[in-house]
A and B are shown apart, each in its own frame.
Chain A
């Protein structure tokens, strides 16, 4: 059974991470309005955070936002780098989220096949 006393360990570990980490400045944003939620955005966000946790990546933040105006392409995930360059991934799921962490966040390679394609805009 989990106990709030575990937070003491989390605090100690996080304080060490904070002093050691290198700020990448990368941010991940997940659309979490009614359209996104109904399309499965919550498990996508959970997978993104869990992958960062498993791989001990502490310098990338994941947060939710409202409707991005492209409801039919939800779940939508945006990756924004330190310079403000944005990559938009559409029709996401948990497996695709794992790819984004491994290929884009860790290796710096944009997953082109998961971004908006010409037929998405028709």
Chain B
């Protein structure tokens, strides 16, 4: 994957497949401790402890169309190469939380990329699910977007409208730039 926002898209499609109706995404940069944290929390069906143990094994997947599952193993590799870690907590019936950390200044760290395009694509494809994205930095600045708020503002206009897609994409990308700069 070329950037973190593509991993984010991949992990969030796992949440969707797990039937999640609410996904909370937090992206936090702490330059003092040189850590970038990406956390994805969902309320999907969760994973059984046995499957959880093997979930970062590339030959482990729930799919029937192919025998490999590369999403989490690739994300784990992208974290570890920068000195970071990927942690997954999951409780069947409650949900799953994926927490990734990366060394901000590591030469091997891929850029954050366009989280606006990731989120707008998901929101327009799954207009009945809710997504909350929050960006924060070590100056205590915090901004984000919540689809429950969008839905309230848009009334009967569905979140899958192309105009909404373009707005959401540009809005989130602008928030990312303001809070995290060119990370």
Q: Which A positions have Cβ atoms within 8 angstroms of B?
A: 1-2, 4, 6-8, 10-11, 13-15, 18, 32-35, 37-38, 42-43, 45-46, 49-50, 52-53, 57-58, 61-64, 66-69, 71
**Contact A64 to B167, CB < 8 A, known contacts A34-B70, A34-B74, A37-B6:** no
In the bound complex, what is the Cα–Cα distance between A108 and B122 (angstroms)?
27
CB contact list, B56-101 vs A, under 8 A: 63, 65-66, 69-71, 74
Chain B interfacial residues counted at CB < 8 A? 40
In the bound complex, what is the Cα–Cα distance between A41 and B170 (angstroms)?
19
**Contact A7 to B161, CB < 8 A, known contacts A37-B1, A62-B124:** no
Residues from chain A with a CB closer than 8 A to the CB of B66 are 67, 69, 71
Decide if the interface of chain A is mainly helix, strand, loop or mixed. Answer: helix
Tell me the smallest distance from the CB of A55 to a CB of chain B, in Å: 9
Residues from chain A with a CB closer than 8 A to the CB of B126 are 63
Contact indicator A42/B153 (Cβ below 8 Å): no
**Contact A49 to B165, CB < 8 A, known contacts A42-B121, A69-B65:** yes
